[in-house]
């Protein structure tokens, strides 16, 4: 299965992420990656027309736990005076999840802001029938996820109906367009075996806990590389458009 058959994105930095994922997979234990591929494929194949949103939430919880996240399934709350419910919060370990719950109760009791520094990712779950091609429905779901990201002051979130996973980076909103990288696992053949597929290495890299860990610098490295690429592009444009690029005010 080709990467382009499964991956869909509006993120201009996808080539960089793919290169980083290749470096990542070289360092990973092949047996571990293969086991996760089989685990994920088998889990997703259990989804059918009778699956409910609660079923999908439970399924996603098991997948994130397989990736060593500590998972918190949230109860109802309010955002801007409107009843809401964050489906899943992901933490680095149980200690930080328990600490978050303890601090949250104290904050609510004292009418103080909820401490969010330990949250790694926010996940919004949809039922299997949710159509990622229905623009109005997707916009509504994205807006909901971004309200949660704003409330918890986080950049990274996931929107999923179990088969389709969209990974969002709120720091990259450009002209109102929300940047995402989507993986459609419904396009993975049931008989497909692990062959170090590029798309799976890419997914594995983007979703791994180590990428979001407060103890790692993975995302900082990404940002540095993106900034360097932008500078190279600017310089190239200056060189093309102007004989004396340093005299131009366009790119200053």
**CA-to-CA distance for 226 and 214, rounded, in angstroms?**
20
Q: Is the dihedral of CA 167, 156, 120, 59 positive or negative?
A: negative
Least Cα distance to 93 among 71, 123, 75 occurs for 71
pLDDT at 3: 56
The rounded distance, in Å, linking the Cα atoms of 91 and 238 is 44
pLDDT along the chain (252 residues), means of 10: 78 89 84 94 94 96 98 69 78 96 88 89 96 95 93 94 96 77 94 89 94 88 81 72 58 50
What pTM value is reported for the model?
Answer: 0.86
pLDDT in the model for residue 83: 57
Domain boundaries, the chain: 3-215, 217-252
Predicted local confidence at residue 69, as pLDDT: 98
Tokens 């500078």 belong to which residue?
A: 231
Q: By CB neighbour count within 10 A (0-12 exposed, 13-18 middle, 19+ buried), where does 140 fall?
A: exposed
| DSSP per-residue letters across 94-145 | HHHHHHHHHHHHHHHHTT-PPP-TTEEEEEEE--TT--TT-HHHHHHHHHHH
């Amino acid at each position: 299965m080709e990467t382009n058959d499964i991956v869909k994105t509006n993120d201009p930095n996808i080539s960089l992420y793919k290169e980083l994922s290749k470096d990542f997979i070289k360092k990973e234990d092949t047996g571990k990656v293969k086991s996760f591929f089989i685990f994920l494929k088998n889990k997703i194949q259990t989804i059918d027309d009778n699956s409910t949103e609660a079923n999908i939430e439970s399924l996603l919880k098991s997948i994130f736990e397989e990736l060593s996240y500590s998972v918190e399934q949230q109860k109802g709350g309010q955002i801007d005076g409107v009843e809401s419910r964050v489906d899943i919060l992901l933490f680095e370990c149980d200690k930080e999840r328990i600490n978050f719950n303890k601090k949250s109760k104290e904050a609510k009791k004292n009418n103080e802001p909820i401490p969010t520094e330990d949250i790694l990712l926010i996940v919004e779950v949809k039922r299997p029938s949710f159509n990622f091609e229905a623009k109005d429905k997707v916009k509504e779901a994205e807006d909901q996820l971004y309200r949660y990201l704003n409330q918890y002051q986080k950049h990274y979130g996931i929107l999923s109906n179990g088969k389709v996973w969209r990974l969002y980076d709120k720091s990259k909103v450009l002209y109102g367009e929300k940047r995402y990288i989507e993986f459609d696992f419904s396009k993975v053949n049931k008989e497909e075996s692990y062959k170090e597929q590029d798309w799976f290495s890419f997914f594995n890299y983007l979703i791994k806990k180590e990428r979001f860990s407060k103890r790692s610098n993975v995302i900082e490295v990404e940002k540095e590389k993106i900034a360097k690429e932008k500078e190279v592009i600017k310089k190239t444009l200056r060189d093309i458009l102007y004989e004396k690029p340093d005299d131009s005010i366009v790119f200053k």
